[in-house]
């Protein structure tokens, strides 16, 4: 009697079929990415020109449709402001959770609601800001760039916090204890030991949150609105790449649709650069 | 070992410091606590305002009347959200039916079957699906997927017309296309969480199955899948939460018809899409604006419920099942 009965033909066939099916499904999952990238390159590159990046949308029905300069500026301005708000706040909350809130009911509540925030649809954040700031004409204008930034910051906050909490918790306690034993007060330990040790992980989390915010359309539609002109004034309505694409998709003209593809390619490249950066930084990290 | 206990034990040496030197510590502690409290307060405030602003519509139509009334008619100022709720649920359900099996299969293939060298690149490719913004999926869906899939949709509608909710004339934009795009968008998150859950399957179980002579597939079926069932349910629910709240891609491809479609290839509308589309005209009409905010409230509550379930399942999944059911290993 042999130790192992040979695997029957039927079982072998089933095994092979199942493996094939799993591989095929994986191919199917990646297929849309291939198609999206293909069409973005095919239709997007053709829309690119110097004028595409240096002129604002003209809004003219005939003649030159203009480029997406205001959209690029708006996205950069609003995402920058959102980052300035959300990253320190997010890391601060994470620092609280790791340094003071390992146990306790309040910390558990904070953790729970940060979790809840990650599940809130982005359009609901937009609605929040719309209700509180836009309807009330806070700051003198109804729609404004900084209100768009706030909506994006709300979206980024839980992403930053959750990523930061993970890496801050990875900082070995022995480092903290060594610094405390040398007589450093808690605040110095946090600022000089804990945060610098976790820096690469914090940067990665921040970059991923930025990449996510840069591609969001829904919260901007009724906070920053859509305008044609580029402006540096964050207290006025502001254009953005996603809003520009959304506006152009609805137009029946080929030129505007081409501009949508060009803007989409620009946006995807920006996000791709950010996510690649995040990956590189996290690989350099000593932790994780 | 917590740093907090150390501070207390070292109380004497800290006590020797002048009171002035201890101020930054106190400021740091209460500053950070206040920050965390501010986030909670902000959420509570927003939620209260959301409910407050939706009162105009909810008191006119009643909360249940608003959700279950099948007539969203802006021109006659009548707002019943049922067509939107149905649209949101139908597209999300289609996304789950298509997306979850593909995502689980992808996770299985990456963790168990593919060559070790291909593991990293494949993971990155699947994650890149999540890096494409919603509006770009919408753009692609509108200009590429809808025209290319039109004959496919018509063929499906004709061939499977014996099934309920299938058949009829295919216009182009539809629940089905919206669901398909949502499926693409939820694959990365469902797959990532499924992979995490599968990583917690003890290798003892897998090795035991293989040692008993199971083929790879039998090992997956008898060791991995039963163990990670709860976690996969959680991942699916998180994907559902995403799909329910997804706005722009759906707005572009669902057709924006405020009625309940009879078939999956009909045009429809969703909660998020109606908010994105109608806010502009609604800004000056209090009732319309309030109705849109109420739609946002319904959407918010819907995602809260779905994500609550998801959290429950994922936590249970990571602890592993209490007693994994052991289905017989058919030869």
Note the pLDDT tens digit of each residue in B214-226.
999 999 999 999 9
Rg (CA), chain A: 24
> Nearest CA to B258 among B129, B26, B24, B78?
B78
pLDDT at B129: 92
Residues of A in contact with B56 (CB under 8 A): none
**What is d(CA B59, CA B66) in angstroms, rounded to the nearest whole number?**
9
Residue A216 C-alpha, separation from nearest chain B C-alpha, in angstroms: 7
Closest Cα of chain A to B205: distance in Å?
19
Q: Is B115 helix (H, G, I), strand (E, B) or coil?
A: coil
Q: Across A247-251, B164-168, B321-325, which has the greatest mean pLDDT? A: A247-251
Distances (CA, A) of A257 to A64, A246, A263, B47, B148: 13, 10, 10, 38, 17
Q: Is pLDDT above 60 for B1? A: no
Q: Which residue of A has its CA nearest to B311?
A: A115
Residue B134 contacts A where some CB pair is shorter than 8 Å: yes
What integer pLDDT is reported at residue B308 of this predicted model? 87
Closest CA to B40 of A115, A109, A168: A109
- Best residue of B20, B31, B39 to probe chain A, by most A CBs closer than 10 Å: B39
> Quick check: A110 contacting B, CB < 8 Å?
yes
Helices (H), B141-285: 146-159, 175-199, 203-211, 216-219, 225-227, 229-245, 248-253, 271-282
Whether the Cβ atoms of residue B57 and residue B293 lie closer than 8 Å to each other: yes
Share of chain B above pLDDT 90, in %: 59
Nearest beta carbon to residue B25 from set A106, A187, A242: A187
pLDDT at A230: 79
Whether B6 shows a pLDDT value over 90: the answer reads: no
Contact present, A76 and A266 (Cβ < 8 Å)? no
A240: left (phi over 0), alpha (psi -120 to 50) or beta: beta
Task: Determine the distance in angstroms separating the CA of B97 from the nearest CA of chain A, rounded to an integer.
Answer: 14
Run means of pLDDT, 10 residues per run, chain A, 288 residues: 69 94 95 95 91 85 82 94 96 94 88 90 93 85 91 95 93 93 91 92 91 92 84 87 92 87 95 89 66
Rounded to the nearest 5°, which phi and psi values hold at B52? -60, -45
Residue appearing with tokens 């030159």? A64
Among residues 62-81 of chain B, which lie with CB inside 8 Å of chain A?
none
Residue in B33, B132, B247 closest to A36 by CB: B132
Q: How confident is the model at residue B188 (pLDDT cuts 50, 70, 90)?
A: very high
| pLDDT computed for residue A179 by the predictor | 93
Report which of residues A89 and B164 the model is more confident about.
Answer: A89
pLDDT at position B161, please?
83
Query: Exposed, middle or buried by CB within 10 Å (0-12, 13-18, 19+), for A135?
Result: middle
| Number of alpha carbons in the 13 Å side-chain half-sphere of residue B54 | 27
Q: Which of A217, A242, A254, A282 to mutate to test the interface with B (most CBs of B within 10 A)?
A: A217
| DSSP letter string, A248-285 | HHT---HHHHHHHHHHHHHHHHHHHHHHHHHHHHHHH-
Runs of H (alpha helix) within A225-253 = 241-249
Distance in Å, alpha carbon of B323 to nearest chain A alpha carbon: 26
Radius of gyration of chain B (CA): 25
Interchain CB contact of A113 with B (< 8 Å):
yes
How many Å separate Cα A152 from the centre of its chain?
9
Q: 3-class SS at B167?
A: coil
Backbone angles phi, psi at A40, to 5 degrees: -60, -45
Kindly list the distances between the CA atom of residue A236 and the CA atoms of A123, A128, A229, B278, in Å, as whole numbers in the listed order.
21, 19, 11, 21
Give me the DSSP letters along A62-104: SS----SHHHHHHHHHHHHHHHHHHHHHHHHHHHHHHHT-SSS
Whole-number pLDDT of residue B164: 81
CB spacing of B293 vs A127 below 8 angstroms: yes
Q: What is the per-residue pLDDT for B322?
A: 46
Q: B78 by DSSP, 3-state: which?
A: strand
User: Looking at CA atoms only, how far is residue B329 from chain A in angstroms?
Assistant: 11
DSSP 3-state of A4 = coil
Nearest CA in chain B to A10: B331
| CA–CA dist B214, B48 (Å, integer) | 57
Nearest by CB: B311 against A22, A115, A249: A115
Q: What is the DSSP letter of A174?
A: H
Dihedral sign from CA coordinates of A73, A74, A79, A80 = positive
- Specify the pLDDT at position B316: 74
B11 touches chain A (CB under 8 A): no
Looking at chain A, which residue has its C-alpha nearest residue B277?
A221
- Cβ B4–A96 below 8 Å, yes or no? no
Which are the contacts of B284, defined by CB distance < 8 A and separation ≥ 6? Answer: none
Q: Which of B194, B222, B247 to probe by mutation at the A interface, max A CB count within 10 Å? A: B247
pTM equals 0.89
Lowest average pLDDT, out of A227-241, B51-65, B190-204, B247-261, goes to A227-241
Model pLDDT for residues B268-319, shown as the tens digit of each residue: 999 999 999 888 777 788 899 999 999 999 999 999 999 888 888 877 766 6
- A60 vs B72, higher pLDDT: B72
pLDDT of A222 reads 86
Q: Is the dihedral of CA B68, B71, B72, B75 positive or negative?
A: negative
Give the Å distances, CA to CA, from A138 to A123, A125, A239, B111, B277. Answer: 20, 17, 19, 52, 24
């Amino acid at each position: 009697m042999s130790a192992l009965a040979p695997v029957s033909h039927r079982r072998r066939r089933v095994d092979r079929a199942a493996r094939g099916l799993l591989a095929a499904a994986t191919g199917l999952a990646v297929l849309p990415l291939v198609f999206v990238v293909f069409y973005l390159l095919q239709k997007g590159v053709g829309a690119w020109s110097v004028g595409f990046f240096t002129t604002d949308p003209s809004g003219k029905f005939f003649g030159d449709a203009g480029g997406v300069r205001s959209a690029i500026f708006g996205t950069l301005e609003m995402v920058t402001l959102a980052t300035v708000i959300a990253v320190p706040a997010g890391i601060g909350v994470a620092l609280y959770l790791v340094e003071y809130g390992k146990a306790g009911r309040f910390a558990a509540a904070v953790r729970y609601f940060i979790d809840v925030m990650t599940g809130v649809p982005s359009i609901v954040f937009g609605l929040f800001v719309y209700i509180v700031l836009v309807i009330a004409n806070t700051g003198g204008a109804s729609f404004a760039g900084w209100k768009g930034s706030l909506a994006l910051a709300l979206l980024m906050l839980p992403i930053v916090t959750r990523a930061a909490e993970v890496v801050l918790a990875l900082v070995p306690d022995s480092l903290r204890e060594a610094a405390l034993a040398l007589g450093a007060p808690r605040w110095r330990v946090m600022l000089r030991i804990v945060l610098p040790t976790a820096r690469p992980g914090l940067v990665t989390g921040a970059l991923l949150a930025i990449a996510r915010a840069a591609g969001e359309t829904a919260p901007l539609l009724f906070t920053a609105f859509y305008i044609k002109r580029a402006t540096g004034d964050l207290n006025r309505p502001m254009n953005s790449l996603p809003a520009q694409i959304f506006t152009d998709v609805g137009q029946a003209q080929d030129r505007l649709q081409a501009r949508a593809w060009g803007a989409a390619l620009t946006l995807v490249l920006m996000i791709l650069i950010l996510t690649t950066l995040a990956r590189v930084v996290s690989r350099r990290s000593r932790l994780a | 070992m917590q740093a907090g206990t150390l501070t207390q034990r070292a109380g004497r040496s800290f006590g020797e410091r002048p009171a002035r030197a201890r101020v930054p510590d106190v400021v740091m502690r209460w500053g950070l606590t206040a920050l965390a409290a501010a986030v909670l307060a902000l959420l509570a405030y927003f939620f209260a305002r959301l409910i407050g602003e939706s009162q105009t519509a909810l008191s006119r139509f009643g909360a249940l009347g608003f959700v279950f009334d099948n007539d969203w008619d802006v021109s006659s100022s009548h707002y019943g959200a049922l067509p939107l709720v149905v649209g949101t649920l139908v597209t999300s359900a289609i996304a789950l039916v298509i997306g979850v099996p593909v995502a689980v299969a992808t996770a299985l293939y990456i963790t168990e079957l593919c060559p070790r060298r291909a593991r990293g690149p494949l993971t990155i490719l699947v994650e890149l699906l999540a890096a494409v913004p919603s509006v770009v999926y919408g753009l692609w869906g509108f200009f590429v997927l809808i025209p290319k899939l039109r004959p496919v949709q018509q063929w499906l509608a004709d061939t499977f017309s014996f099934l309920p909710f299938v058949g009829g004339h295919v216009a182009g934009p539809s629940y089905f296309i919206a669901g398909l795009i949502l499926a693409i968008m939820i694959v990365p998150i469902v797959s990532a969480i499924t992979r995490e859950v599968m990583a917690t399957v003890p290798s003892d179980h897998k090795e035991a199955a293989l040692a008993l002579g199971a083929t790879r597939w039998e090992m997956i079926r008898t060791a991995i899948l039963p163990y990670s069932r709860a976690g996969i349910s959680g991942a699916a629910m998180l994907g559902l939460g995403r799909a329910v709240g997804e706005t722009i891609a759906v707005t572009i491809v669902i057709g924006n018809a405020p009625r309940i479609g009879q078939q999956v290839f009909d045009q429809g509308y969703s909660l998020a899409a109606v908010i994105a589309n109608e806010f502009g005209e609604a800004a000056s009409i209090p009732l319309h604006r309030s109705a849109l905010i109420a739609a946002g409230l319904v959407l918010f509550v819907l995602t809260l419920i779905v994500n609550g379930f998801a959290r429950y399942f994922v936590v249970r999944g990571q602890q592993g099942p209490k007693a994994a059911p052991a289905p017989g290993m058919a030869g």
